Structure 1
């Protein structure tokens, strides 16, 4: 897939000024405090004041680095999403290149369910106020899904991209878990969606429809 590099915040590939020692200490305190707050309660209720107080830093110090709560959640998720990006671009199939589009989409769904299993509250924190669609991660996932739709010969792929990403919203995932569905069930259901939309182009059968291929 010839997709652009995931444009996440705090891109390590971009030139950045050397961080002062006190700034680095404050960054670590802020991220640790935010992670604790996100884990303990609904991230949508966490405010910048809450984070500043928990981290023991002033509001000015916090706002100089992070403009809002969403940017802090994005920073916390950054390394996990980068790892998934690397697997999509250069990993082994079916998640990485080399498998049919339906199997790749099913594998992507399974990998995203794993991410939600481990970090649903952080993901929810990045989706506050409809901000989900503006994150670099969402933009990359959209490029990936559109590429798979195009490879499968699906007509008007743009009309399906957001629909296929919608089940991966943290709020949807948490609702499914509240209804008693396990992560394996969720991934299997999404695999059926992947093969239902893309499988016909490659003659997939029921035997091929596990999330990992």
Structure 2
């Protein structure tokens, strides 16, 4: 029994070390330079441990984003309004977009890495699958994005059931991975991003 607890504690420490190493590497290097091998070396674990724990580079990036997005998810689901339940849908959507802009502003390297991991999960020009990039599905299949999209589209649909809420939520959130927006975040202009997202959301939610 004690041995089992020790193994679980070791696994938890390894997971935290891998995630911390990934975050530190993303703060110093471009996403395409952060390989699974480099993460393993920085975390002080074997490359096989990283693959066993996270499956692929996409899996690793998603796990790290989940860690950073967990508090936002909790606030959306169980927190006080306007981010949490109890406020009108337009107020909740604005608060949510503000929170997302602040989160991605603090984790711009991770956001870029998620986009890069999705791109490189396709097959290389030689027709062989890249070593780090076992298929994980399209970008909109990522758990964090799925949750964000579901929340935003639900609020849009609640306020404007006459609109294509699913597509409009994709348009709002998909812009977060565009090159111009990533460059904006690199300059520390997350407040500018939040203001623009609010303008777009206000236009969407305005009456016909």
- TM-score category, normalised to shorter length: 0.7 to 0.9
Give the Cα–Cα distance (whole angstroms) in 1 for the partners of residues 101 and 13 of structure 2.
33
Structure 1: which 5+ runs fail to align? 1-16, 202-213
Give the Cα–Cα distance (whole angstroms) in 2 for the partners of residues 177 and 76 of structure 1.
19
Q: Secondary structure at the match of 2:86?
A: coil
Deviations 1:42-76 (A, max 9, x none): 12331111112222322222221121122222222
Give the Cα–Cα distance (whole angstroms) in 2 for the partners of residues 172 and 88 of structure 1.
28
Say whether residues 1:113 and 2:121 are aligned partners.
no
Give the Cα–Cα distance (whole angstroms) in 2 for the partners of residues 62 and 160 of structure 1.
36
**Where in structure 1 do 4 or more consecutive aligned residues deviate above 4 Å?**
none
Q: Secondary structure at the match of 1:200?
A: coil
C-alpha distance 75-197 of structure 1, shift in aligned 2 (>3 A) = same
Counterpart among 17, 41, 45 of residue 53 in structure 1: 41
Question: 1:86 maps to which residue?
Answer: 74
Larger relative contact order, structure 1 or 2 (CA cutoff 8 Å, min sep 6): 1
1:20-59 to 2 correspondence within 5 Å? 20-59=8-47
Give the Cα–Cα distance (whole angstroms) in 2 for the partners of residues 156 and 117 of structure 1.
28
Counterpart among 61, 70, 91 of residue 103 in structure 1: 91
Question: 2:175 maps to which residue?
Answer: 167
Question: 1:68 maps to which residue?
Answer: 56
C-alpha distance 80-27 of structure 1, shift in aligned 2 (>3 A) = closer
TM-score when scaled to structure 2?
A: 0.77
Give the Cα–Cα distance (whole angstroms) in 1 for the partners of residues 188 and 54 of structure 2.
36
